[in-house]
Amino acid sequence: MPKKYVIANFKMNKTDSEVAKYIDEFKPLIEKSSCQIVLSVPYVSIKTAVEKVSDSNITIAGQNLNENDFGAFTGEVNAEMLTAVGAQACIVGHSERRSKFNETDELINKKIMKGLRDGLICVLCIGETLFDKKNQKTEQVLKQQITKCLNSIYANELNHIVIAYEPVWAIGTGISATTDEIAQAISLIRKMLSNLYDADIASKVAIVYGGSINEENIKDIARLDDVDGVLVGGASLDPMSFSKIVLAFDDEERTNDKKTKKRVLKK
């Protein structure tokens, strides 16, 4: 079985010293985990975080990047700047960036291409709003986001992309999607990827779920065969809580008796 991605998004929380303290507390809790753990910290703490995780199984990521190489873009950070301080990944297209900063799928596509070119793993966030869900437009919205955001992305580049299905109505609301809703959406995403590329490639793309994840619901989510991990917001800010989310995937792997599973797309 491939490694599970467990990604934390600190958003605009924690000072540099608080990030350092967090990592000191967090590392011993997950040192035996087999998961690919990613901490997306504020820009100003990336260098500190990279130094703190140097002897661990944790990767540090940025929360956004600019699509340009350089220039007069006050307050922005490009991919080269992220990699220069040790970041290995970056979140792209989060719903907060889409809604509060008017980021379009076309812009997100440019950011992905820039990130990939400079060696970053891109965590692409997609998901429908409550309005979309109520009006049965989930499939239409996901198809548009995937098609436009992955425009001109080659099949071999998908190895460096993690798709995060984050229904907007579940982010920060305390209302998580049900396991059936998560499974259906991820199955839908894989079918879309299969149409864009092919079934074998689609089966290997890492797809994670995000949206009001906590210690209570993570065990049910971790049991879903087609979910390759989670992207966690608020619950990632406490090292103990986040460690329990990480370890839920290790517990599930052990209960599977290390059976090898091959993902098959449903028709």
Structure tokens at 48: 């500190």
Question: Alpha-carbon distance 239 to 109, whole Å?
Answer: 33
DSSP state at residue 2 = P
CA-CA-CA-CA torsion for 185, 212, 241, 163, nearest 10 degrees? 40
Structure tokens at 16: 């540099």
Q: Which of 94, 96, 252, 253 does the annotation list as catalytic?
A: 94
Let me know: does 27 contact 59? Beta carbons within 8 Å. no
Looking only at the bridges linking them, the beta strands covering 161-165 and 121-126 are parallel
Question: Alpha-carbon distance 167 to 266, whole Å?
Answer: 22
Q: Which of 96, 103, 128, 166 does the annotation list as catalytic?
A: 166
Catalytic-residue membership of 94: yes
Question: Alpha-carbon distance 153 to 168, whole Å?
Answer: 25
Question: Alpha-carbon distance 86 to 265, whole Å?
Answer: 36
Let me know: does 79 contact 65? Beta carbons within 8 Å. yes
Question: Alpha-carbon distance 64 to 79, whole Å?
Answer: 9
Nearest C-alpha neighbor of 128 from the set 92, 99, 102 = 99
Question: Alpha-carbon distance 170 to 122, whole Å?
Answer: 22
Structure tokens at 36: 């690919």
Residues involved in catalysis: 94, 166
